[in-house]
Amino acid sequence: MRPPRTPRRRDAASLQPAEAFNPGDLVEVLPDEPGLRGAHFAAVVVGPSAKPRGYTIEYDALLESEGSDRKLREAVPARILRPRPPPLRAPASEAPEVHAAVDALLDDAWWLGVALGGADGAGKLKVCFPETREVMEVEAADVRPHLEWADGEWCSPDSMEIPRTMPYTKGMQIEVSKVEDDSVVAWLPAVVAKNIWKNNLLVEYTVSKSGGIALSEEIVDVKHVRPCPPQASAINFCINDEVEAFQGGGWWLGVITEVHPELKYTIKPAHLGVEVQLSQKLLRLRYDWVDGQWKQESQNALKPKFTHGVKVEVCSDDEGFRGAWFEATVLKSAGSKFLVEYATLKADDETKPLTEAVEARHIRPFPPRIPVVDGFKLLDEVDAFCNDGWWVGVVSKVISNQKYMVYFRPWKEEMEFEHGQLRFHCDWMGGRWMRASPAHSASVDGEELASGICSANVRVK
């Protein structure tokens, strides 16, 4: 637990309506700076203060300096003061309920925590502090029920609703940070088991071990939690890409140091000096959850150069062609456009390949070849070669390891394809190839898919 420090002062512009106090009133100071949130320091009001607009108080237990016997006095804004709670104590024979909000007396302050039940030592209780993720054994006499001062009266958290700003609810899949030396080194998959006053969560880890230590559940502050990242992964990674690698039940932060054939990469984890080699399916680009939004870390993606002879794919906004990509070769660039020659589309005379100028937004590099292991699976998102182009669809039925039915959402049609007419679907985004994760693809509503399948199946030659 951090030792207490002088609370940060705020100017008058940040003041909010607060309680009125008189000299001699017994109060508690609730600092709002990092490392001290959740602490309640006992003090007495000396008098009003102009800068900051609030009160001068004298702490009960904090001294002016080390070795001094004079109690610390300082001016604090009124909004971080509250009356002292009544001296309510549970009978010694009754311990707080498990997961009840309590205050524990540590380092000259009452710290907000969560009761975990009795400890091995007689007369002691286990208390969890979700912000620091510490669990301590505290003398039962130094633990009190937590009370909130609201609208001029004391309220038990049991009678108050969890703040509506709480973004996580019971059953939600999340990720919880693993911290080493004050830095996040990994994110562990978990599920919200319970909301606990005020901004705390009981989480159950979906993988039983983390870093070799058995870990099934934990109570954490929401600042240690984030939603599951976007369900997409890069097809090709580059050297120096910041990634997250799935190992030991969690996603560990690292950097790509070497690229190998067959979609394998050497990773240098942030927490280890030893490099490891992993396959592409165990990697994802690093995303950070910042102010309620996903922010992708800057990556080593390069802008492709479409020069003479480069194979590309081209899309069109014309009616009947939207959603399809056609193979082509770049002949030359012309300002912001490119002159391309199509591999399958013919000119009006039906003898020569069609050539046309296309805008840069309609052109992308040729997709990478993604190995298909043990055939395509039900609900795999694929591109199907049909009518001279590649059209995105979903595998709706596996007929055999060489034949599949594919459903096309825009037209609500189902068609049969050979294995060689399909490829995994991926998108060109932010200068790299991205593919929806299998979990994301499988989230397609099966009933909706089934209801849209046409009764007449069409065979593609």
Q: Are residues 321 and 356 in the same domain?
A: yes
SS3 of 336-386: the string is CEEEEEEEEEECCCCCCEEEEEEEHHHEEECCCCCCCCCCCCCCCEEEEEE
Is 56:73 a contact under the CB 8 Å cutoff? yes
Residue 367 in contact with residue 350, Cβ under 8 Å? Answer: no
Residue 284 sits in a domain whose CATH number is: 2.30.30
Range of the domain at 327: 310-365
* Ramachandran sector of residue 453 (left: φ over 0; alpha: ψ -120 to 50; beta: rest): beta
The predicted pLDDT at position 13 comes to 34
Residue 455 lies in a domain: no
What's residue 52's pLDDT?
Answer: 84
Q: Where a domain ends, among 159, 182, 209?
A: 159
Alpha-carbon gap, residue 314 to 366, rounded angstroms: 9
205, part of any domain: yes
Distances (CA, A) of 313 to 65, 289, 306, 435: 71, 33, 11, 17
In a domain, 301, yes or no: no
51 C-beta neighbours (distance < 10 Å), count: 9
pLDDT at 301: 56
pLDDT at 208: 54
Alpha-carbon distance 30 to 13, whole Å? 19
In a domain, 258, yes or no: yes
What's the CA gap between 355 and 7, in Å, rounded? 71
**Which pLDDT value is given to residue 50?**
87
Residue that has been written with the tokens 């669809």 in this structure: 393
Mean pLDDT by 10 residues, the chain (461 residues): 38 47 96 88 95 92 89 94 82 77 94 87 88 93 92 88 81 94 91 92 78 72 92 75 90 90 87 86 90 75 79 90 92 90 91 92 88 89 95 95 93 94 87 64 44 38 34
The closest of 183, 182, 225, 180 to 204, measured between CA atoms, is: 225
The DSSP output letter for 308 is T
Q: Are residue 245 and residue 223 in the same domain, yes or no?
A: no
Structural domain contains residue 164: no
Q: How many angstroms separate the CA atoms of 386 and 323, rounded?
A: 12
pLDDT in tens, 231-260: 766 677 887 888 999 988 899 999 998 888
pLDDT at site 178:
93
Do 223 and 258 have their domain in common? no
pLDDT of residue 91: 52
Domain count of the chain? 6
Strand-strand pairing, 183-196 and 124-129: unpaired
202, 227, 252 - which closes a domain: 227
pTM of the model: 0.66
Largest CA distance in the chain: 100
The pLDDT value given to residue 417: 97
Which of 296, 319, 336 is at the close of a domain? 296
Q: Are residues 391 and 423 in the same domain?
A: yes
Beta 264-269 vs 143-145: how paired, if at all? unpaired
Helix (H) or strand (E) holding 448: helix 446-452
Residue 442: inside a domain: no
Q: What was the pLDDT predicted at 126?
A: 94
